[in-house]
Amino acid sequence: MREYLKFYIDGEWVDPVELKTLDVENPATEQTVGKIAIGSAADVDKAVKAARKAFATWSQTSREERLEVLQRILAEYQKRFGDLATAVTEEMGAPASLAQRAQVPIGMAHLATAIEVLKNFKFEEDRGPTMIVKEPIGVCGFITPWNWPLNQIVCKVAPAIATGCTMVLKPSEVAPFTGQIFAEIMHAAGVPKGVFNMIQGDGPGVGAAISSHPDVDMVSFTGSTRAGIEVAKAAAPTVKRVAQELGGKSPNIVLDDDAFAKGVSRGVATMMTNSGQSCNAPTRMLVPKKRMDEAISVARETAAGITVGDPNGNAQLGPVVNKTQFDKIQKLIQAGIDEGATLVIGGTGRPEGLEKGYFVKPTVFANVTNDMTIAKEEIFGPVLAILGYDSVDQAIEIGNDTEYGLAAYVQAADLEQARKVAAKLRAGQVSINGGGGDMTAPFGGYKMSGNGREWGDYAFHEFLETKAMLGYAPKQAAE
């Protein structure tokens, strides 16, 4: 049983101003596996004051000093790899194999990427008589989700450290263990006092206080679009910068060619990863109407081969994160059935043999139309909707017919044709034929999927202000 009842503020583990606790549940067993303290606006104020004080000196450190700190953080992170993997599985149900292969390593990758970017990043640009300077924005507030907890913590913290910012982190209260261990990593790495601060808590108690605090210069939020709107509203009166990575309903266009079956199979497998709990999951598969029956056959076979069960065993899919998510997904599956979509495989209820835990059947619907609930709403579970199209232009039109624009996917044998389709999709990141794994590729969305970009050098710019110093270099007298 884990018990985390202190916050990390100004380089020390401190008691909350007022102790309130929250039980943490293992979604695979429905058992309480830990307890955390829940913070308040008073705790946020303490953390922000520490960050503001630290900013005066941390913002003036050299590139070399910040590189050294990042390298120490990476070394400590590597030491805690096993602890982090265990925590991810325990708190949000990720299969142990996924935790070890992706959930934990991606945090290391963000740190390593920030180190490489920082080595050559240009903070100054000479433009004749004017010097353009990039300076750290100040105190940053980070509000991170539960579905890829380390990814979203480190993809914010690493570039913020690299650019000379200080910060206050609120990890998800649903999956708080990794955030606590990450704070221990920062402490062990000797990050200067006040540069990194961490408070556990919920959105109304801590998230809102971070978003509205007048001494927080920038807030970076990852989560649902609904919650992102509330963050933006809370931030508006202080005119702080707001960066958001929100929801998605990503189209996956499979073109009519020899790679069709492979594209459908890949799309199903990608969609189901992490139990469908990824904001960029390819949840809407678009196939030629004349090949719908073939798509159904391939999708059914692929989904049938996906094992669901104990995340500490050999199962490919663990549970979804909690009862709230489980109930929401069940209602949306039922909506698909009620609205006339063809249920290919899966459906409501737990998979056979699983009587406890928030396990969801890998579910595929076909003959879906874009006005159906399951084609419009972000389900955040292992539920795929297959839609038909008559022409490539119509596929693009359907793909873009969503309030979201985080990601999109194209599958095709003809790379040039795939590129043409990708160019017309309104999304922040488009994957062609399973392309991925580029840690420097900007990540973020169009429309209601958010604003700003994370990952690589694009992330650095989110944490920097731009200053123009005119007359920095006086004009030379004519000879």
The residues carrying an active-site annotation are 245, 279
* Type and span of the H or E element at 451: strand 450-451
Beta strands in 120-263 (DSSP E): 124-127, 130-136, 139-143, 166-170, 196-198, 218-222, 241-245, 251-254
Q: Do residues 435 and 132 lie in contact, with contact meaning Cβ atoms separated by under 8 Å?
A: no
What is the gyration radius of the CA atoms in the chain, in angstroms?
A: 23
Please report, in angstroms and rounded to a whole number, the separation of the first and last CA atoms in the chain. 78
The structure tokens listed for 456 are 């690589």
Asked if residue 332 lies in contact with residue 361, where contact means CB atoms within 8 angstroms, the answer is no
CA distance 107 to 150: 6
Q: Provide the token pair at 262.
A: 């492979």
Q: How far is it, in rounded angstroms, from Cα 421 to Cα 432?
A: 10
Residues in the chain: 479
Neighbours of 406 (CB within 10 A): 28
CA atoms 131, 132, 134, 135: torsion sign: positive
Q: At residue 205, what are phi and psi to the nearest 5 degrees?
A: -85, -40
